[in-house]
Amino acid sequence: MKRLCVFVMLFFLVVGFSTISWAEGNLPLQGSIGVGVRLYGFFPTSDKLRGQRLDFEDGIGGEINVTYRFLKYLALEGGVGYTEFDIKNETLAVDWARVEVLPISLTLQFRWISKKPEELKWIVPYASIGGGYYFLEIDEKSELQNYWLSRGVGIDLEIDDSFFVHAGGGFDIFLTDHIALNFDAKYSWAQADIDEKRITGGTSQTLGGTMNLNGAFVGAGFKFFF
């Protein structure tokens, strides 16, 4: 998975820098709207739940976004994405669960424009801060189910949706006046409540806890400005 992310990044770099000469320098400024797609890698930070060590695997996702540049140096970006990642329970030594994440985000971008566009007319870097809401789903892995079934216990995991905040930065490389290659990286902070229901015979026991969903998103894509 990491090799795929590296390959995608290298591909975008080669395409971008081989076509920089196409840009005319009349970059979209205040009032412009950009519509884009982005492929990203998600690199979550492992955590503990009720003393059990959870190892989060990396994931790959995608996003559709819209950017509105309401001032020369400020823009708002709204995005809807999707990613999923697997979790291994190191304490029980089993594949624990798969988490599906649908983030809806709103991000403020502080964009920089060179005062000498003849020297730097095709690249626009930015810093960003924002947040949003995670719609979350969790499915327990068969290894976890078998672990508890061998002990006469059924298992069911539930996770609550969660708010998140993020900060990062990136840059647009304009291939033409309206088409840009986009690189974006941000770190997100979130917590989600999770319940583990254990069913034995006709009785059930619910164990609750909180799990961190902190992680880095690193992505690349294209935007069309008009």
Question: For the segment 86-129, what is each residue's pLDDT rounded down to a tens digit?
Answer: 999 999 999 999 999 999 999 999 998 766 655 556 788 999 99
Residue 38 has pLDDT above 70, yes or no: yes
pLDDT, position 9: 45
Q: How far apart, in whole angstroms, are the C-alpha atoms of residue 33 and residue 68?
A: 5
Q: Among the residues of the chain, which ranges form H helices?
A: 2-18, 142-149
pLDDT, position 114: 67
What DSSP string runs through 41-59?
EEEEPPEEETTEEEEEPPE
Q: Which two tokens stand for residue 1?
A: 């998975």
* pLDDT 10s digits, 58-89: 999 999 999 999 988 899 999 999 999 999 99
Q: Which domains does the chain have, with CATH numbers?
A: 2-139+163-190+217-225 (2.40.160.20)
pLDDT, position 226: 85
pLDDT, position 202: 79
Q: How far is CA 140 from the centre of its chain?
A: 22
User: How many Å is the maximal CA-CA distance in the chain?
Assistant: 75
Q: How far apart, in whole angstroms, are the C-alpha atoms of residue 37 and residue 168?
A: 18
pLDDT, position 31: 64
pLDDT, position 17: 40
Query: In 3D, which of 220, 92, 75 has the Cα closest to residue 144?
Result: 92
* pLDDT 10s digits, 133-149: 999 999 999 999 999 99
Please report which helix (H) or strand (E) contains residue 108, including its range. Answer: strand 94-111
* pLDDT 10s digits, 160-213: 999 999 999 999 998 888 899 999 999 999 999 999 999 998 788 999 999 999
Q: How far apart, in whole angstroms, are the C-alpha atoms of residue 5 and residue 60?
A: 8
pLDDT, position 30: 59
Q: Are 165 and 187 in contact (CB under 8 A)?
A: no
Residue 2 has pLDDT above 80, yes or no: no
Report phi then psi at 15, rounded to 5.
-65, -45
pLDDT, position 32: 84
Residue 57 makes CB contacts below 8 A (sequence gap 6+) with 44, 85, 86, 87, 88
Residue 51 has pLDDT above 70, yes or no: yes
Q: What is the CA radius of gyration of the chain?
A: 21
* pLDDT 10s digits, 150-162: 999 999 999 999 9
